[in-house]
Amino acid sequence: MVEDELALFDKSINEFWNKFKSTVSDTSCQMVGLRETYKDSIKAFAEKLSVKLKEEERMVEMFLEYQNQICRQNKLIQEKKENLLKLIAEVKDKKQEVEALTANIQDLKEEYARKKETISTANKANEERLKRLQKSADLYKDRLGLEIRKIYGDKLQFIFTDIDPKHPDRPFMFSLCLNEARDYEVSDCAPRLECLAEFQEKLQDALKG
């Protein structure tokens, strides 16, 4: 009986041992599988993470490049804006200069028109005066034998004949010039007249009138 029990116990121990080894072996295999799976997962995750990091680095580089481009564009826009403001200011100044020149030209045109009218009026008056003088000269020439000569010293010499009925060829003369005061002055009167000063004053008034 004891030997049978020992044999049965020994059999039970062997069975337990075999089961234990089988269980431990299966568990070890499972652990090894899990570890390999874990390694593969970690490796794949690391690779994905590396790819993701590189993509993010490229995105950061692209963002920085875009930011630099935006800064350069903003700088160019600011420069163009400043240049445009300068051009606007220059155009405004030129416009004011053109307006001032236009106003000056208009003033000059009006002044020229006034002077032209004045000159025209003066010319007409001079023409009328010349006509009267020419008429008077012709009359004096016909009636008194008047002859006008230009002599030394920018003087005009007036010579009359046909004054003395007894001696129609006898000359009567005087010279006329402008003095420093731009007044008419009678000189070289022959024969000498006592009323020369009065005659000169009347001549001055007549010429001024």
Please say whether the beta carbons of 148 and 158 come within 8 A. Answer: yes
As separate numbers, helices (DSSP H) first and strands (DSSP E) second, the chain gives: 2, 4
The token pair at 94 is: 């030129």
- Does some domain include residue 56? no
Where does the pLDDT of residue 2 fall: very low under 50, low under 70, confident under 90, or very high at 90 and above? Answer: very low
Exposed, middle or buried, 174 (CB in 10 Å: 0-12/13-18/19+)? buried
Residues 131 and 173 in one domain: no
Write the CB contacts of 160 (distance below 8 Å, at least 6 apart in sequence): 140, 144, 145, 146, 171, 172, 173
* Percentage of residues of the chain with pLDDT beyond 70: 78
- Does some domain include residue 98? yes
Residues 161 and 112 in one domain: no
pLDDT at 83: 86
- Does some domain include residue 17? no
pTM of the model: 0.39
Query: What is the distance of C-alpha 175 from the center of its chain?
Result: 63
Find the domain containing 92 and state its range: 88-143
Q: What is the CATH classification number for the domain harbouring 182? A: 3.30.457.50
Q: How do residues 19-60 score in pLDDT, each as one tens digit?
A: 666 665 555 555 555 566 656 666 776 777 777 778 888 888
- Does some domain include residue 3? no
β-strands 155-160, 147-151 pairing? antiparallel
How many structural domains comprise the chain? Answer: 2
